Amino acid sequence: MPHDHLPAALRRALDARGYDQLTEVQDSVSKPEAAGRDLLVSARTGSGKTVAFGLAMAGELLGDAERLPFSLPPLALVIAPTRELALQVSAELQWLYEPAGGRVVTCVGGMDPVRERRSLENGAHIVVGTPGRLRDHLERGALDLSSLRVVVLDEADEMLDMGFREELEEILDGAPPERRTLLFSATLPKPIVALARRYQRDALRISTLGENAGHGDIAYQAVTVRPTDVEHAVVNLLRFHEAETAILFCATREAVRRLHGTLSERGFSAVALSGEHSQADRNRALQALRDGRARVLVATDVAARGIDLPGVSLVIHVELPRDAEALQHRSGRTGRAGRKGIALLIVPGMRRRRVESMLRLARIPVEWKSVPSADEIRARDRARLMEKLREPVEAEEADQAFAAELLEELGPEGVAAALVRALASDLPAPEDLLDGPSEERPQHGGFDGAGWFRINAGRRQGGDPKWLLPLICRIGHVPRSEIGAIKVAATDSYFEVSPRALQTFVKALRKNSPAMAQDGILVEPSTSPDEHHAAGGGPPRPRQPKTLRRR
């Protein structure tokens, strides 16, 4: 193994695990020029970061010795954002430092704190824990930081996102000033840079992300849908890709609950994670995904922090992330350790321009596609089934006898039909997404004296009556029958509201205006687009009635 600069004990551990070569981040942090320095490392999840910082701190822990020295207080401290990630880090460091006689103790929420304190009293070389539990042990006097030589912050950006700034600062302030500080973060927002400046000295900057901020092993795709078709789009995307494991991200626990219920009812093997689930629920859900009893995880951002599931090949952003950093955090659950993955964004048509801008600024390439139709999904099913049936089979004598019996009784076509029906019986049916109304809905009776309104979505924003109509009805609390003509212009669209529904519509519009503003939606009274264009003007600036405040 061409890594003679590593301690012999760690080389033996790597050889036993089949490490023919190190990953880019592992090689970078273990080079001689990185020895003894504080490190600020940007590396995507799944790139071997745990082994990387295990190698990086070897000089302080081992030096030239074969085995770690005896010590009651820990020599190294690793801080991770979640219980799951801390347990994974602990397991990795256990095998890496086992040949050197390393003792690793884990301190995380959800475990017995008394047992953890007893383990700390018995001595440890490396302590791995979550910020809250580590601070608790520190304040109780169970965690002695006086002998620390290295502190590692893993997924530092996630810890700040989760509100652990105070805990991190208390722990770092309590560590010896001469220790090394290794900071690993998938992204480097301003709070991380500020943290590094405060607690690191002349840190060596290492980045293995490349110029493209998006993950190299992740293909980003986006589909535009009507707001009312989001769940239908999720069903068709899951059916089309048939991923080994898929993670679906929602913004709220209520959205998680609703989507999980919809998918379970449709026949998908799905589990859910959100803030309302206990640690026991969380463990059961993750175990179901690991052993294959479930294939779909519906989760909020916080609930999915630090999760490392094997075989995640599809991430669907059912509700859009707040920014590009959150997008990369979510998407980083797939495309790990050299495996390819797909990150799919479901974009309500009105928000397409905002999403395009976010992706462009983050230099993340995206391919815009259509939601797979039911016919496309059935064709994909047939292709997958044909591929499966073409695989060579070594049948036992009893199976061959039964096959001959089936052939004699049902005939070739009957056997084939029964086989197709049996294999397809467990697949949820795809959705037929509605085509919706044409670009301009015809005016019908009962609209004399109707009120015209303008919405800030036209052809350039992907505006289409297919999704404008249900959106208008939802924000105005009126049925479709009360909406007359919808006329789509270049940057705006105009629609009629019947006289009998005007008061209800304006009242609902005023109530929903804060939420609409957050989504970039503006609806305001207008004149008829035909009257306006006849006057030769640009986009109308309508007189604002007292019942509707402009935002």
- Which domains, and CATH codes, for the chain? 8-207 (3.40.50.300), 218-373 (3.40.50.300), 379-424 (no CATH), 451-534 (3.30.70.330)
Give the Cα separation of 330 and 300 in Å (integer): 10
Cβ(174)–Cβ(140) under 8 Å?
A: no
- Of residues 462 and 454, more confidence is placed in 454
Give the Cα separation of 109 and 132 in Å (integer): 8
Q: Which of 95-104, 129-138, 158-167, 329-338 has the lowest average pLDDT?
A: 329-338
213 band by pLDDT with thresholds 50, 70 and 90? very low
pLDDT of residue 214: 45
pLDDT of residue 37: 93
Give the Cα separation of 10 and 53 in Å (integer): 12
pLDDT of residue 143: 95
Could you tell me whether strands 493-497 and 451-455 are parallel, antiparallel, or unpaired per DSSP bridges? antiparallel
Distance of CA 59 to the CA centre of its chain: 35
Reply yes or no on whether the pLDDT at 524 is more than 80: yes
pLDDT of residue 227: 76
pLDDT above 90 covers what percent of the chain? 34
Reply yes or no on whether the pLDDT at 243 is more than 80: yes
State mean pLDDT over 387-394. Answer: 72
pLDDT of residue 405: 77
Order of strands across the sheet with 104-107?
A: 104-107, 126-129, 76-79, 150-153, 180-185, 39-42, 204-207
Reply yes or no on whether the pLDDT at 447 is more than 50: yes
State mean pLDDT over 324-352. Answer: 83
Both tokens of residue 417? 């039909």
State mean pLDDT over 22-33. Answer: 88
Taken in order 184, 188, 192, 193, the sign of the CA dihedral is positive
Reply yes or no on whether the pLDDT at 547 is more than 70: no
Reply yes or no on whether the pLDDT at 129 is more than 60: yes
Reply yes or no on whether the pLDDT at 212 is more than 50: no
pLDDT of residue 133: 94
pLDDT of residue 519: 78
pLDDT of residue 1: 45
Cβ(453)–Cβ(529) under 8 Å?
A: no
Average pLDDT, whole number, for the chain? Answer: 83
State mean pLDDT over 254-279. Answer: 88
Cβ(513)–Cβ(343) under 8 Å?
A: no
pLDDT of residue 64: 81
Rama region for 443: left / alpha / beta (φ>0; ψ in -120 to 50; rest): beta
pLDDT of residue 548: 34
Give the Cα separation of 15 and 1 in Å (integer): 8
State mean pLDDT over 159-188. Answer: 89
